[in-house]
Amino acid sequence: MKNARKLCVDILNTVFSNEGYSNIILRNELKKNSFNDKDKALITEIVYGTIKYKYTIDKILNSFLKKGIESLEPYVLNILRSAIYQIRYLDKVPTFAAVNEAVEIAKKYSSVSASKLVNGVLRNYIRDSEKTYYNKNNLVESLCFNYSFEKWLVNLFMKQYGGKITEEILSGLNERPVTSVRVNPLKINYDEAYEELERLGYDIEEGYVCPEAIIINKGKNIEDNQLFTEGKITVQDESAMLVAPALGFCEELKIFDLCSAPGGKSTHISELSNDKAQIIAFDIHENKLSLIKENAFRLGINNILCRQMDASTFNEDLKDIADAVLIDVPCSGLGIIKKKPEIKYTKNNKALEDIIQIQRKIMLNSIKYVKPNGTVIYSTCTLNKKENMENINWLIENYPNISIEPIYFGNLPNLIYENGMVTILPNKYMDGFFIAKLKRNW
């Protein structure tokens, strides 16, 4: 079996070389190696924490390396990153243990000289713990360092939301995410599911905003739970759980979900319609349609038809057919950074601009697919206003026969309502998200 901290470095190496998402790589590695629950928890904490605080950690390391972090081989750099994270952010990990493990990993898997460098840098950091790494009189630099976000992203949020809400966003995106599950009323009622989870030893509470939600504070992997395997519950963030209810009454309706995989929102619509709505779930990747089918089968849902289609390319055969269309469009993902922290470093301003053109093509197609007086639900898991309300405003300016149908999910501190649309700020319970409801008036 691999050493736990060695595996952390291996995973970080893979993630920072842009070879995959941290959640997928981590899950696969933990499956391949037989670690106990304590070690799994430590590996998960170190991996996610090091990725989350990479910007801050690199600022620290650069101050102790004459030639900067660029002078280090990636493996040694990731040994240092993971060790600094443990020393700075994990109270339960003894400093000497973090240093000794880092030195040994460097010696065994890199070189003796690398182990000496690692030892020297970490000892210097510990000795100079009061050192200042940024201009404390500069708000942007302070936010960047304290919350570990790059300047372009902090500046984007500052410009769009102002200082107070920007700090709320950064704090929310650094929260440790909880697991929330959606109770499937086709198979079990809410109280029965709640009581069964308690009986199985889970530390749970009622959902933050959604009546179908149960929050899992502590317990074993929920996907290994009998309630999950029997389709009585399914994992979904509460922000995403708000999309299907925004449709309103949906029994007997024909509904298109244009960007459906893995099918969380399609299956939620099915549950809300008592499995009576006619749902066609589309995705650009044919291989991902199997995920929708698997989820529908597990949940006991029979009314979802899956088709492969590029939502950004207009399909004449679908014109004026649907009663409602859901478009959870591809986006920058800035609202789900707490679950995929590498998004902090893999996105940039150009990537954000490029995705907007795809989003607008999907929006225009969706409007053509609904019948007159039909409904379109537009949602994203980003907080970039250009991908959210600015897209909606652009659509209405160019197509005045489209109107916004106001939506309201209650008076909660992280929900911002503006012109009938809702922006969901990230917190412990919810991802950053945006939802708008549109009506075709011709």
Q: Confirm whether residue 354 is marked as ligand binding.
A: no
Verify whether residue 8 is a known catalytic residue.
no
Average per-residue pLDDT in the chain? 95
Q: For 19-43, how does the pLDDT look when each residue is reduced to its tens digit (9 = 90+)?
A: 778 989 999 999 888 888 889 999 9
Q: For 70-118, how does the pLDDT look when each residue is reduced to its tens digit (9 = 90+)?
A: 999 999 999 999 999 999 999 988 999 999 999 999 999 999 999 999 9
**pLDDT value at residue 129:** 77
Q: For 183-224, how does the pLDDT look when each residue is reduced to its tens digit (9 = 90+)?
A: 999 999 999 999 999 999 999 999 999 999 999 999 888 988
Query: All domains of the chain, ordered by start, with CATH?
Result: 4-127 (1.10.940.10), 139-173 (no CATH), 179-235 (3.30.70.1170), 238-440 (3.40.50.150)
Q: Confirm whether residue 374 is marked as ligand binding.
A: no
DSSP state of 441: -
Q: Confirm whether residue 263 is marked as ligand binding.
A: yes
Q: Average pLDDT for residues 162-185, to the nearest whole number? A: 97
**pLDDT value at residue 235:** 97
Q: Confirm whether residue 259 is marked as ligand binding.
A: yes
Exposure of 206 by Cβ count < 10 A (0-12 exposed, 13-18 middle, 19+ buried)?
Answer: exposed
Q: Average pLDDT for residues 415-419, to the nearest whole number? A: 97
Tell me the Ramachandran region of residue 415: left when phi exceeds 0, alpha when psi lies from -120 to 50, beta otherwise: beta
Catalytic one among 144, 210, 306, 381?
381
Q: Confirm whether residue 306 is marked as ligand binding.
A: no
Does residue 421 have a pLDDT over 90?
yes
Report the alpha-carbon distance of residue 228 to residue 225 in Å, rounded: 5
Which has more confidence, 296 or 442?
Answer: 296
The tokens for 73 are 């081989």
Q: State what percent of residues in the chain have pLDDT above 90.
A: 89
Does residue 319 have a pLDDT over 50?
yes
**pLDDT value at residue 58:** 98
**pLDDT value at residue 2:** 62
213-218/179-183 β-pairing:
antiparallel
